[in-house]
């Protein structure tokens, strides 16, 4: 366990002006608070916060963060109180410990919705002070280093959570070294056999290539020295998880990987970076497609470096990263590098300037978009996990997107309105499908539709950015709600007309408290969805309205004149409502509309139809002869007037079902198909059942234009000698 003087020495190595009294006070306070507590390993519990503090001293963080690390478990695991912490160490440290205490109470390993809600809380907490995240990540890193002491079930849950959330979050904050170690430790517990196999192969390969690596380091350093660049060259190998992930992604064997070893060239300035690049490319041939310049276009986590691959000494592929020492510091420590002590007299760079922190703030803004916790977790993970591509608008604006992004993602990254109205795209001046995968350096121009437009709901499953998915889902919800509200308005207007009462939105607004709704649109949408009946709204607006029987009778005789008297009543001759101007027009089946046809009902234009309001589904359309309507006898308030809007459905087919009794002889089925084809019908489905040796029952689903078209097909079928009986089926 780290001694008190050792903690002081670690801090004073990079910050000679450290507050020794504060650090000593925190050490003694935490040691007394934890007392004889032990961890699963049997070590004193107090050793854990000290190790967390040690990890943070390697990042050279300020005194308050180090003290918060030492104290981070005291409120949750000891009798210490937050007020006591604030009184002893001040409000700044008290706020940090408070944030860490709240995070510790989150159970991220839980069912998906709860995990999403807790992830919201985590991001909200770290958005207040990024140092909370730095302590939390260091806490998780030490817990992962000692995870082998935990029970197997708990080990798997913690490792999965680390791989899902904490490692990607560390990467998004630019802390690549920490991300790689967290991933490796999680991989070790989740896939122990794969981890062991890859690790053994790495050790064998390292021993085999040790001399070659040293030769390349020496050769690079000498060549750079002769050009006066004074570079430091360091060889490094990929970690086990990184190798496994690449093998999975590219479906290649370990032996096929050519970039297991890489080299980092550290120079003093940006000019020296490009000088070193020129020397490397003029000395060894570059591998095409393996050059990336993250200095001119930094990643969103502030990572800056030049990546290239050359065919180096011994005809070996050599992967190089060229960067300044300051860039290397950011690459290693990420967002923590913005608070490093370069010089005691130099103030730390404000974290708010960090691109990674700006990404975090934008992610927090998604919380205000109204997505549910599960969606938020899904969208955030999408952005955490993906590498990036960099594209440009025609005016030169740089847009960073996850790998695999499409012009649709690009459009929403520019602006939500651009995404909602996108109908096409030009990539590098040429028209391209909206689903084209974008590549680094593409110039993308979005072709937009005039006026307002609702993006197709199918886009949601095709985009890869959280922002695009959230915007598409929100636009779809808004459009459907608007449609429900429009349907509800028509239903209410007719209900008030039947009641003999005047309808106005002003009167409806005055009745909102009695309807327990906050806006008129809420009421209209609720009526359209079937969550609120029109009769209840009439009575809420006109409290003195007593003629309930008249209203229900009107609702029950909705246009088609049907009265709920039992199943036999369905066969009554009823007045035709097709020309009733008060009925709601039905254009046909559209998945985006709150109007649908009942399964197997077979309603076609020309049929007398009735609408049934179903909660959550809107209006379901049935032919008036449908036996299924008997189930709604006792709910007359669910019935609504509907009529066909013939002009709007001129070029649309509708499904109908016909049952035939045919004679068993060769060619009978061909004759049926020929009749349907001759009448411009279309067979969607067919089923046959041998009833007797001489007769077969045939049920066919046909698509027709209207009732006249259907009756023509039925009449022709009846005229066939091989068909003894034809009838139309309606569920």
Report which listed range, 293-302, 337-346, 689-698, is most confident: 689-698
Neighbours of 204 (CB within 10 A): 10
Q: Are residues 121 and 49 in the same domain?
A: yes
Q: What is the mean pLDDT of residues 531-544?
A: 83
Q: Are residues 42 and 155 in the same domain?
A: yes
Indicate the residue among 176, 193, 210 that finishes a domain. Answer: 193
What is the pLDDT confidence band of residue 585, given thresholds at 50, 70 and 90? low
By DSSP bridging, strand 261-267 and strand 317-324 are: parallel
Q: Number of structural domains, the chain?
A: 5
Cβ atoms of 594 and 477 within 8 Å: the answer is no
Residue 632 in any domain: the answer is: yes
Q: Are residues 122 and 189 in the same domain?
A: yes
Return the pLDDT at 153: 83
Strand-by-strand arrangement of the 639-640 sheet: 595-597, 618-623, 609-614, 639-640
Residue 306 in any domain: the answer is: yes
Q: Are residues 189 and 200 in the same domain?
A: no
Return the pLDDT at 464: 85
Mean pLDDT, the chain, whole residue set: 79
587 vs 694: which has the higher pLDDT: 694
Extract the tokens encoding 321: 């990263």
Give me the CATH number covering residue 434.
3.10.20.30
Strand-by-strand arrangement of the 261-267 sheet: 232-237, 261-267, 317-324, 306-311, 292-293
Collect all residues with Cβ–Cβ distance below 8 Å to 7 and sequence separation of at least 6: 23, 27, 50, 53, 54, 57, 66, 70
Burial class for 226, CB neighbours closer than 10 Å (0-12, 13-18, 19+): exposed
Burial 401-428 (b: 16+ CB within 10 A, else e): bbeebbbbbbbbbbebeebbbbeebebe
Return the pLDDT at 69: 93
What is the pLDDT confidence band of residue 424, given thresholds at 50, 70 and 90? very high
* Domain encompassing residue 492: 477-649
Neighbours of 392 (CB within 10 A): 17
* The pLDDT of residue 182 is above 90: yes
Compute the distance between CA of residue 536 and CA of residue 542 in angstroms, rounded to an integer.
Answer: 10
Residue 345 in any domain: the answer is: no
Return the pLDDT at 129: 75
Q: Are residues 200 and 189 in the same domain?
A: no
DSSP3 helix / strand / coil % (the chain, rounded to 5): 55, 15, 30
Give me the CATH number covering residue 668.
3.30.70.260
What is the pLDDT confidence band of residue 175, given thresholds at 50, 70 and 90? confident
Return the pLDDT at 29: 92
Compute the distance between CA of residue 122 and CA of residue 136 in angstroms, rounded to an integer.
Answer: 10
What is the pLDDT confidence band of residue 127, given thresholds at 50, 70 and 90? low
Q: What residue has token string 């370990």?
A: 254
Q: Are residues 372 and 319 in the same domain?
A: no
* The pLDDT of residue 713 is above 60: yes
Which one from 19, 43, 76, 160 is the annotated catalytic residue?
A: 76
Return the pLDDT at 587: 56
> Can 76 be counted among the known catalytic residues?
yes
Residue 329 in any domain: the answer is: yes
Across 48-62, 316-330, 534-548, least confident range = 534-548
Across 115-124, 164-173, 310-319, least confident range = 115-124
Q: Are residues 434 and 575 in the same domain?
A: no
Concatenated DSSP letters of 168-227: HHHHHTT-HHHHHHHHHHHHHHHSHHHHHHHHHHHHHHHHHHHHHHHHHHHHHHHHHHHT
Partners of residue 613 on adjacent β-strands: 619
Collect all residues with Cβ–Cβ distance below 8 Å to 245 and sequence separation of at least 6: none
Burial 138-167 (b: 16+ CB within 10 A, else e): bbbbbbbebbeebeeeebbbbbebbbbbbb
Return the pLDDT at 357: 59
Concatenated DSSP letters of 52-93: HHHHHHHTT--HHHHHHHHHTTHHHHSS--HHHHHHHH-HHH
Q: What is the mean pLDDT of residues 572-576?
A: 34
Compute the distance between CA of residue 326 and CA of residue 341 in angstroms, rounded to an integer.
Answer: 12
> Can 600 be counted among the known catalytic residues?
no
CA dihedral 695, 700, 705, 711 (to 10 degrees): 20
Burial class for 53, CB neighbours closer than 10 Å (0-12, 13-18, 19+): buried
What is the pLDDT confidence band of residue 51, given thresholds at 50, 70 and 90? very high
Which one from 19, 43, 58, 77 is the annotated catalytic residue?
A: 77
Give me the CATH number covering residue 302.
3.30.460.10
Q: Are residues 661 and 526 in the same domain?
A: no
Share of the chain above pLDDT 70, in %: 80
Q: What is the mean pLDDT of residues 252-272?
A: 83
* The pLDDT of residue 458 is above 50: yes
* The pLDDT of residue 590 is above 60: no
Extract the tokens encoding 445: 């121009």
Residue 348 in any domain: the answer is: no
Q: What is the mean pLDDT of residues 460-477?
A: 85
Indicate the residue among 339, 368, 402 that finishes a domain. Answer: 339
Overall residue count recorded for the chain in this entry: 731
Q: Can you state the angle between helices 407-414 and 466-499, rounded to 10 degrees?
A: 80
Indicate the residue among 313, 339, 365 that finishes a domain. Answer: 339
What is the pLDDT confidence band of residue 352, given thresholds at 50, 70 and 90? very low
* The pLDDT of residue 204 is above 80: yes
Q: Are residues 423 and 437 in the same domain?
A: yes
Q: Are residues 47 and 165 in the same domain?
A: yes
Give me the CATH number covering residue 182.
1.10.3210.10
Q: What is the mean pLDDT of residues 634-663?
A: 76
Neighbours of 245 (CB within 10 A): 14
Burial 672-685 (b: 16+ CB within 10 A, else e): beebbeebebeeee
Q: Per residue in 389-402, pLDDT tens? A: 778 888 878 787 87
Residue 346 in any domain: the answer is: no
Q: What is the mean pLDDT of residues 164-173?
A: 80
Q: Per residue in 661-696, pLDDT tens? A: 998 888 889 999 999 999 988 998 899 988 888 889
Q: What is the mean pLDDT of residues 546-568?
A: 39
Q: Are residues 235 and 132 in the same domain?
A: no
Q: Are residues 432 and 400 in the same domain?
A: yes
* The pLDDT of residue 388 is above 70: no
Give me the helices (H) in 227-372, please: 240-250, 270-283, 325-333, 355-365
Q: Per residue in 310-338, pLDDT tens? A: 887 767 778 899 999 888 888 887 766 65
Helix (H) or strand (E) holding 554: helix 548-556
Helix (H) or strand (E) holding 412: helix 407-414
Helix, coil or strand: residue 625:
coil
Return the pLDDT at 340: 42
Residue 41 in any domain: the answer is: yes
Collect all residues with Cβ–Cβ distance below 8 Å to 417 and sequence separation of at least 6: none
Residue 606 in any domain: the answer is: yes
Q: What is the mean pLDDT of residues 95-107?
A: 72
């Amino acid at each position: 366990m780290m001694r008190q003087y050792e903690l002081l020495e670690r801090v004073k190595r990079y910050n000679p002006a450290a507050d020794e009294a504060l650090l000593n006070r925190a050490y003694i306070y935490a040691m007394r608070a934890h007392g004889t507590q032990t961890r699963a390993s049997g070590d004193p519990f107090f050793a854990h916060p000290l190790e967390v503090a040690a990890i943070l001293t390697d990042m050279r963080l300020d005194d308050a963060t180090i003290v918060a690390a030492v104290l981070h478990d005291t409120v949750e695991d000891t009798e210490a109180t937050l007020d006591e912490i604030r009184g002893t160490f001040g409000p700044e440290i008290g706020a940090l410990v408070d944030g860490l205490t709240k995070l510790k109470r989150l159970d991220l390993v839980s069912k998906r919705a709860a995990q999403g809600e807790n992830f919201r809380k985590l991001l909200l907490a770290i958005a207040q002070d990024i140092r909370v995240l730095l302590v939390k990540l260091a806490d998780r890193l030490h817990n992962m280093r000692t995870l082998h002491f935990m029970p197997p079930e708990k080990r798997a849950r913690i490792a999965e959570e680390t791989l899902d959330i904490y490692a990607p979050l560390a990467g998004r904050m630019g802390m690549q070294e920490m991300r790689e170690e967290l991933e490796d430790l999680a991989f070790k517990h989740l896939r122990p056999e794969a981890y062991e196999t890859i690790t053994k192969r790495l050790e064998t390969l390292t021993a085999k290539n040790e001399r070659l690596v040293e030769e390349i380091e020496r050769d690079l350093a000498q060549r750079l020295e002769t050009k006066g660049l004074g570079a430091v060259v360091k060889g490094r190998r990929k970690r086990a998880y990184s190798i496994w992930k690449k093998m999975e992604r590219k479906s290649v064997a370990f032996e096929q990987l050519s970039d297991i070893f890489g080299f980092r060239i550290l120079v003093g300035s940006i000019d020296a970076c490009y000088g070193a690049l020129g020397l490397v490319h003029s000395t060894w041939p570059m591998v095409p497609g393996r050059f990336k310049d993250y200095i001119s276009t930094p990643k969103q986590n502030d990572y800056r470096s030049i990546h290239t691959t050359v065919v180096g000494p011994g005809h070996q592929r050599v992967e190089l990263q060229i960067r300044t020492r300051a860039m290397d510091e950011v690459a290693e420590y990420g967002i923590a590098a913005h608070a490093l002590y370069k010089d005691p007299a130099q103030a730390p760079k404000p974290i708010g300037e960090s691109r990674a922190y700006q990404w975090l703030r934008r992610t927090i803004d998604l919380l205000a978009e109204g997505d549910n916790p599960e969606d938020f977790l899904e969208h955030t993970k999408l952005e955490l996990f993906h590498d990036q591509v960099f594209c440009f608008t025609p005016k030169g604006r740089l847009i960073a997107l996850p790998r695999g992004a499409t012009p649709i993602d690009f459009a929403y990254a520019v602006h939500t309105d651009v995404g909602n109205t996108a109908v096409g795209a030009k990539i590098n001046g040429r028209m391209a499908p909206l689903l084209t995968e974008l590549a680094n350096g593409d110039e993308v121009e979005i072709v937009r539709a005039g006026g307002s437009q609702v993006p197709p709901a199918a886009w949601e499953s095709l985009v890869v950015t959280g922002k695009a998915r959230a915007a598409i889902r929100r636009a779809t919800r808004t459009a459907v709600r608007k449609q429900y509200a429009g349907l509800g308005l028509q239903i209410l207007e007719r209900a008030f007309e039947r009641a003999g009462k005047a309808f106005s939105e002003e009167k409806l607004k005055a009745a909102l408290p009695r309807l327990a709704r906050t806006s008129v649109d809420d009421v209209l949408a609720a009526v359209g969805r079937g969550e609120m009946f029109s009769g209840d709204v009439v009575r809420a607006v006109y409290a003195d309205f007593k003629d309930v029987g008249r209203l229900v009778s009107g609702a029950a005789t909705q246009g088609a004149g049907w009265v709920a008297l039992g199943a036999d009543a369905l066969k009554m001759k009823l007045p035709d409502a097709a020309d009733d101007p008060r009925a709601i027009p039905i254009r046909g089946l559209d998945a985006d509309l709150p109007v649908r046809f009942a399964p197997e009902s077979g309603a076609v234009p020309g049929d007398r139809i009735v609408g049934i309001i179903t909660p959550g589904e809107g209006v379901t359309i049935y032919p008036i002869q449908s036996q299924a309507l008997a189930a709604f006898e006792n709910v007359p308030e669910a019935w609504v007037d509907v009529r066909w809007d013939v002009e709007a459905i001129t070029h649309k087919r509708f499904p109908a079902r016909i049952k035939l009794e045919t004679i068993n002889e060769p060619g009978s089925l061909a004759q049926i198909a020929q009749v349907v084809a001759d009448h411009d019908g279309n067979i969607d489905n067919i089923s046959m059942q041998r009833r007797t040796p001489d007769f077969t029952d045939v049920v066919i689903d046909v698509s027709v234009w209207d009732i006249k078209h259907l009756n023509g097909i039925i009449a022709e079928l009846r005229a066939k000698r091989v068909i003894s009986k034809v009838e139309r089926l309606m569920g």
